[in-house]
Amino acid sequence: MKDLKQRFVEEYCIVWKGAPAAIRAGYAKSRAKQTARDLLQDPEIQAAIKEYHSKHGMSVEEAIKRNTDIGRTRLNDYMKVEEVWESTFERKPLADLIAELNLQIKIDDEFSDRAGLTEQEQGKIFELNKAREREILRYEIELKLNPKAYRVVKSEPRPVEKPTVDLIKLAKADEEGAIKKISWNERGLPSVEMYPADAAIKTALQIHGKLVEKHDHSSSDGSMTPKSIAIDPAKLTPEQLSNLVDVIRNVEQS
């Protein structure tokens, strides 16, 4: 094959449009449309395009698997649940607060009697308990006027399950091309952009004749324009068909 034709084959496999490929290959711009039409009808060119695509493209199995993986991918795949300890705010009735203060007074009084504290140390505990007694008195007065009175207080720390991003899985998926983009905000948190699952499924079916396309060959530049698409299940292996059916079901349920 002449160098000019080989160049056309290479350019066509990049842009998939006849006239632009002819111009990029070095053919005259004024006759690019007709040249492309003639070249694309040449059996030698058609065979060369098929061979070039076969050498430089993915295998059917590899391409279908990759697009199937993308079609199945969900952001939840990169999330994990971690247990953290945290405090929340809660409403506590005044009666409960009074009971807690009385308990603290009893504990400190007994500690003061048994710990052999100095007079200065005992004085500090005495003043602390006096302050608690005054607080109890205030609560009792308020409770008498409003039996439903409460205070919003900080709770004791308790274990809470929280979803977080699994950065290791996310980084690996980014390297493998399973997700479209990862960016990081000012707080150092990741923002993840996924590939459209339906587009991945369509691509998986479209590879190497797994998707039957009807083309309009009347395009003025000699390129082929898809008009309608139909799936040919007969060209899928049982395993491929099963995988793609699973993906389609997942998309419909999402």
Is the separation of the CB atoms in 134 and 43 below 8 Å?
A: no
Domain of 9?
A: 4-57
The amino acid sitting at 178 is: A
Number of residues that this document lists for the chain: 254
d(CA 92, CA 175): 51
How many domains is the chain partitioned into structurally? 3
Tens-digit pLDDT profile for residues 212-238:
444 444 444 444 444 334 445 455 555
Tens-digit pLDDT profile for residues 113-124:
999 899 999 999
Q: Is 10 in the same domain as 121?
A: no
The three-class DSSP label of residue 84 is strand
251: in domain: no
207: in domain: no
Q: Is 145 in the same domain as 24?
A: no
134: in domain: yes
Q: What is the CA radius of gyration of the chain?
A: 37
Last residue of a domain, one of 154, 181, 210: 154
Whole-model pTM: value is 0.38
The 10 Å CB-count burial string (b at 16+, else e) for 100-129 is ebeeebeebeeebeeeeeeeeeeeebeeeb
Q: Is 70 in the same domain as 189?
A: yes
Residue 201 binned pLDDT confidence (cut-offs 50, 70, 90): low
Q: Is 145 in the same domain as 182?
A: no
Residue 68 binned pLDDT confidence (cut-offs 50, 70, 90): low
